[in-house]
Structure 1
Amino acid sequence: MSYGSFPPSSGRRGGTLAVVLAALIPACFAGWLLWSSFGGQDPGQDDGKPGGSGLPTASSTSSPSPPPAGPPSDAPAKSLKGKVVVIDPGHNPNNRDHSAQIARRVDIGTDKKECDTTGTATNSGYAEASFTLDVARRARTLLEARGATVKFTQDGKREFGPCVDERAEIGNKAHADAVVSVHADGAGSGERGFHVILPKSVRGGGADTSAITKPSRRLGERLLDAFAEETGSEPADYIGDGSGLNVRGDLGGLNLSTVPKVFIECGNMRDAKDAAHLTDARWRERAARGVARGITDFLNG
Structure 2
Amino acid sequence: MIEVRGLTMRYGRAVAVDDLSFTVRPGLVTGFLGPNGAGKSTTMRAVLGLEVPAAGETLVDGRSYVSLRSPLRTMGALLDAGAVHGGRTARDHLRCLARSNGIGMARVAAVLEQVGLTGVADRRIKGFSLGMRQRLGIAAALLGDPAVLVLDEPLNGLDPEGIRWLRGLLRSLAGEGRTVLLSSHLMNELAVTADHVVVIGRGRLIADTTMDDLAGHFQGDVLVRTSRPERLTAVMRTQGATVTTEDDGALSVRGLGAARIGELALAAGIALVELSPRGASLEEAFIRLTGDSTEYTTVSEDRTDYTTVTGEGSGRAPVRRAAR
Q: What is the TM-score with the length of structure 2 in the denominator?
A: 0.23
Q: Which has the higher contact order (CA 8 A, sep 6+)?
A: 1
Query: Rg larger in 1 or in 2?
Result: 1
Q: What is the TM-score with the length of structure 1 in the denominator?
A: 0.24
